[in-house]
Amino acid sequence: MKTKLTKLAVALLAALVVSACGGSDNVSPVASAGPALVVDASGYSSFDSTALGLSLAALPLEALSVAEKDSLAFMREEEKLAHDVYALLDVRWSTSVRAFGSIANSEATHAEAVRQLLLRYSLIDPAATLAAGLFQNTILQGLYTQLAAAGAISLIDALKVGAAIEEIDMIDINKALLGIDNQDIVLVYQNLLKGSRNHLRSFVSNLALQGVTYVPQYMSVADYQLIITTPMERG
């Protein structure tokens, strides 16, 4: 009898240890997915497609408002704009800095993350057949033309264009979030914000190496200082 009780006690203790450590049966997809946004040593922030997919799969598919539908379409093209401008500037300035090419690669994953939301909700992708530098949204088309031209003037102007894009992106995402409650969209947008904050820090650092102190062009000085005086966000 003593032997049986001892074995039972050991079994119960083992079960408690597994439960406390989060046994495999109790681990949610989100917990095992890892971070959706991966940040390297330079602050370049890219979505991990596998982790993002697992995180989205664990969240409910909720009804979309008109504002949410419009936001997804706009954000898909806005992230494409960031990628297209950086890829263009990388061709011009790659011998001087690596930031444009590296951040362009990150922005490709940002655009893809929004595309995954469009697929998830069976919405039309406005950028599906568009070549680099082309946009359905006329405001974004005009902005692309303006930024591409400004970035061709000099390396410093190009770095300022990069910082400006990240400012604009954050302003637009924060505004969109005021009318969004779907958990999956919020998840992606919050990670886009983190990526933009990191990329803004990167462009500002590159400008500092050129002897230039960046002054925000779109966001408030207070909001800008809050971002720029804090370290790269890793987790």
Regarding pTM above 0.75, the answer is: yes
Closest alpha carbon to 77 in 127, 123, 138, 131: 127
Closest alpha carbon to 83 in 117, 125, 114, 123: 114
Per-residue pLDDT, averaged over 180-194, amounts to 98
Position 1 in a domain: no
User: What percentage of the chain exceeds 70 in pLDDT?
Assistant: 86
Per-residue pLDDT, averaged over 26-44, amounts to 74
Instruction: State yes or no: pLDDT of 29 exceeds 80.
Output: no
Measured in degrees and rounded to the nearest 5, phi and psi for residue 98 equal: -100, -5
pLDDT of residue 17: 32
Position 164 in a domain: yes
Position 213 in a domain: yes
Position 15 in a domain: no
**Ranges assigned E (strand) in the chain:** 37-39, 45-47
Round the average pLDDT of the chain to a whole number and report it. Answer: 89
User: What percentage of the chain exceeds 90 in pLDDT?
Assistant: 85
Position 201 in a domain: yes
Positive or negative, the CA dihedral 188, 193, 199, 202 is negative
What 63-71 contacts at long range (C-beta under 8 Å, 24+ apart), as own/partner pairs, is 64/121, 64/123, 64/182, 65/179, 67/176, 67/179, 67/180, 68/179, 68/180, 68/182, 68/185, 69/121, 69/123, 71/176, 71/179, 71/180, 71/185
Position 16 in a domain: no
Range of the domain at 112: 36-228
Task: Work out how many domains the chain is built from and give that number.
Answer: 1
Q: What is the CATH number of the domain that holds 143?
A: 1.20.1260.10
pLDDT of residue 28: 41
Position 159 in a domain: yes
What is the distance between the alpha carbons of residues 106 and 165, in angstroms, rounded to a whole number? 14
Position 21 in a domain: no
Per-residue pLDDT, averaged over 70-74, amounts to 98
Other Cβ atoms closer than 10 A to 32:
12
Model pLDDT for residues 118-129, shown as the tens digit of each residue = 999 999 999 999
